[in-house]
Amino acid sequence: MIEVSLKGITKSYGTHLAIPPLDLEIPKGKFVTLLGPSGCGKTTTLRIIAGLEKPSGGELSLAGRRAYSGDTAEFIPPEKRGLGFIFQSYALWPNMKVDRNITLALQQSKLPKADIAARLEEALTKVQLKGMEERFPSELSGGQQQRVAVARLIAARNSILLMDEPLSNLDAVLRTEMRAELKRLSRDLGATTVYVTHDQVEALTMSDLIVVMNGGRIQQVGSPYEIYHQPSNLFVAEFIGDPKLNLLEGDLVQDGKQSAISYAGVTIPLPNQAVHSGGKVKFGIRPERLTILEQSRPNTLMAEVDVVQPTGSQTIVSLNANGQRFTVLVSRFIESWPNKRVWLEFDGSAIMLFDNKTGESIK
C-alpha cells in the first residue's frame, strides 16, 4: 500500500525551478530517506509533503487522501494532515515545560485528559525522561531535547513521520545512539517515515528505501544494498561510499562469452557482467574490494603506498598507481605499511560499469 504519493509535483521559486516534475511513491510502514547534496531539493520535497510549502503543480496524496492538487487548487493545511515532525531544531517551545511540549497537540484534540496523561507517561518512559517533566528545554542537553521531540511523536501516534536532519546538532556518539532510537521508534510505531539527510551513513543505516536526489531529480530509489552495490549512475556511485569508490577508465573487451576489463595492462574478468558491445567504459570498484599484495601476481597492478590511516577496526590506505590515486580499505588496524611497493588485485565480481558518455550504469 502506498502511504505518500507524489505525482508530477513541481516547485518554482520565481524563475528558479527547484523541483522539476517529481514522481515518488512511499510504501506504508517503510523508513524512506531522501538523500542528496546541499540544494538538491530534499527539504523542499519534505516541506511539500508536510504542507509547509505549496507546490507549483502536480498531485500529492497522504494515506489515500488528496492533500494537494494543482488542477483543483485543493490544499490541506499542515495541521490537518495528521503528520508528526522532527526538524533540526526539534521545534520545542522554549517557554513550556517538557510535559506540555509533549502533550500540547493532544490537548488541542478531543482526547480525554486521562488518555493524554497515559500517553505522556508511556512516551516519557520510552525515551527515559521520567522525572524531567517539569524542566524547560533550556534545562536539558541537546540529546534530551531530541528525546522530548521523539516523545512528542510517540504520544501523538501519527502514522506518517517527517524528519529533517534531526541528528545534525548532536555529537558523534549521541548521533549513533539516536540513529538506533529513531529507527526503533519508527518500527515500534509501525509508522511511515520520510527522513531527510545529506549524511549517507544515516541513510544506509536507517532506511528501508533510499531516494537519492540531485538537482531536484531522483537519481535512484532502492534499498541500501542496491544503492551501495548497484548504483544506477555515476552520481550515485560517487556520492555513496566513504571512502569513495575508485573510478577508472578502461576498455571493455569480449573473449567469447566472457567479458573483461583491460586497464593499464591488467585484465580483470567480469563474472557477473552480461555481454556488452565493448569499447571505452568507466568502471568503479569500492575500496574494500581491492586487495593489496606484497608480491606481484598475473593481472595485478603495481602501486606505491602513500598514506596509511587506521580508523580502529579498519585502515584506509592511499596509493598511487598508473598515474592515479587509489584508496583501499583494509579490515584490520595497520599503523604503517612495511614495503612501499605493492600490487593491487581487483575483485572482478565487484566491478561496476558505467557508460563513458552518459554515466549510466551498464548492466
Which of these ranges, 31-39, 54-62, 179-187, 316-324, lies near ligand ATP under the rule CB under 6 A? 31-39
110: helix, strand or coil: coil
Which of these ranges, 10-18, 239-247, 300-308, 319-327, lies near ligand ATP under the rule CB under 6 A? 10-18
Examine residue 32 and tell whether it contacts ligand ATP (CB under 6 A). no
Q: Which is nearer to ligand ATP, 42 or 152 (CB)?
A: 42
Query: Which one of 27, 39, 64, 190 is in contact with ligand ATP (CB under 6 A)?
Result: 39
Least distance from C-beta 183 to ligand ATP, angstroms? 21
**How many Å apart are CA 319 and CA 327, to the nearest integer?**
6
Least distance from C-beta 21 to ligand ATP, angstroms? 15
188: helix, strand or coil: helix
Site for ligand ATP in 187-216 (CB under 6 A): 198
**How many Å apart are CA 119 and CA 164, to the nearest integer?**
24
Residue 313: which H helix or E strand, with range?
none
Burial of 157 (0-12, 13-18, 19+ CB in 10 A): middle
Which of these ranges, 39-47, 244-252, 296-304, 306-314, lies near ligand ATP under the rule CB under 6 A? 39-47
293 Cβ contact partners less than 8 Å away, ≥ 6 residues apart: 300, 342, 343, 344, 345
Half-sphere exposure of 108 (CA within 13 A, CB side): 8
Number of residues that bind ligand ATP (CB under 6 A): 12
| Residue in the shown chain whose Cβ atom is closest to ligand ATP | 43
Q: Which is nearer to ligand ATP, 56 or 144 (CB)?
A: 56
Examine residue 179 and tell whether it contacts ligand ATP (CB under 6 A). no
Which of these ranges, 42-50, 57-65, 241-249, 271-279, lies near ligand ATP under the rule CB under 6 A? 42-50
**How many Å apart are CA 292 and CA 319, to the nearest integer?**
10
Examine residue 38 and tell whether it contacts ligand ATP (CB under 6 A). yes
Examine residue 42 and tell whether it contacts ligand ATP (CB under 6 A). yes
209: helix, strand or coil: strand
Examine residue 36 and tell whether it contacts ligand ATP (CB under 6 A). yes
C-alpha of 3 from chain center: 20
**How many Å apart are CA 163 and CA 240, to the nearest integer?**
21
Examine residue 13 and tell whether it contacts ligand ATP (CB under 6 A). yes
Least distance from C-beta 54 to ligand ATP, angstroms? 12
Q: Which is nearer to ligand ATP, 44 or 220 (CB)?
A: 44
Angle between the N-to-C axes of helices 113-126 and 98-107, in degrees from 0 to 180, rounded to the nearest 10? 140
217 Cβ contact partners less than 8 Å away, ≥ 6 residues apart: 20, 22
Which of these ranges, 35-43, 79-87, 185-193, 320-328, lies near ligand ATP under the rule CB under 6 A? 35-43
Indicate the Cα dihedral angle 319, 325, 329, 330, nearest 10°: -10
Burial of 251 (0-12, 13-18, 19+ CB in 10 A): middle
Query: Which one of 43, 103, 220, 246 is in contact with ligand ATP (CB under 6 A)?
Result: 43
Least distance from C-beta 258 to ligand ATP, angstroms? 43
Q: Which is nearer to ligand ATP, 212 or 328 (CB)?
A: 212
Query: Which one of 26, 35, 40, 156 is in contact with ligand ATP (CB under 6 A)?
Result: 40
Residues that bind ligand ATP in the complex, under the rule CB under 6 A: 13, 16, 18, 36, 38-44, 198
